[in-house]
Amino acid sequence: MINIRVRVNHLVKKYGTRDPEKLAKELNIIIKKVPFKSQKTKGFFKKQFGKKFIVINSNLSEFLQKIVLAHELGHATLHISKSSYYIHEFTLFPRGKYENAANKFAAEILINENDIDMYSLRTMSINELSCYFGVPERLIMYKFFE
């Protein structure tokens, strides 16, 4: 089993960023933002002809696009033997081991626990942590409780 926290920390240390877009560029992953006809599909990762692609629904808010990108980056770095993954009805709720791993990766990459002191981390509610880090509550759960 891959230790996702260790994998993320390695990437952050190697490339000096937690920004999913910058990491994708460093990893030679092509990002495409296109409007999808269906609002159910939020994004997907595809490996084709030796190249990696992450395609994001451009109809999403910038906030959601960043989260979807972080999630798909998880697939691109953790599940490289698989050809494609899709997010449908992006909820961050468990949908199998690959989706859980990608959600955990997104949480690890988007939330830097070094940005908060231990007292606040222990005393703040999930909602407060969500607001503090600017991520959905479910990512807080993946980062600190799963």
- At 63, which amino acid appears? F
**How high is the pLDDT of residue 92?**
52
CB contact at 8 A, 106 and 71 = yes
**How high is the pLDDT of residue 93?**
52
For residue 47, the cross-strand partners are 52
| Ordered structural domains, the chain, with CATH | 4-144 (1.10.10)
First to last CA, the chain: 15
**How high is the pLDDT of residue 89?**
44
DSSP 14-37: HHS---HHHHHHHTTEEEEEE--S
- Whole-model pTM: value is 0.87
Q: In what order do the strands lie in the sheet with 51-57?
A: 29-34, 51-57, 41-48, 84-88
H or E stretch including 45? Answer: strand 41-48
In whole angstroms, give the CA distance from residue 39 to residue 59: 8
The radius of gyration of the chain from alpha carbons, rounded to an integer in Å, stands at: 15
Mean pLDDT by 10 residues, the chain (146 residues): 89 97 97 90 87 93 96 87 50 68 95 93 95 95 89
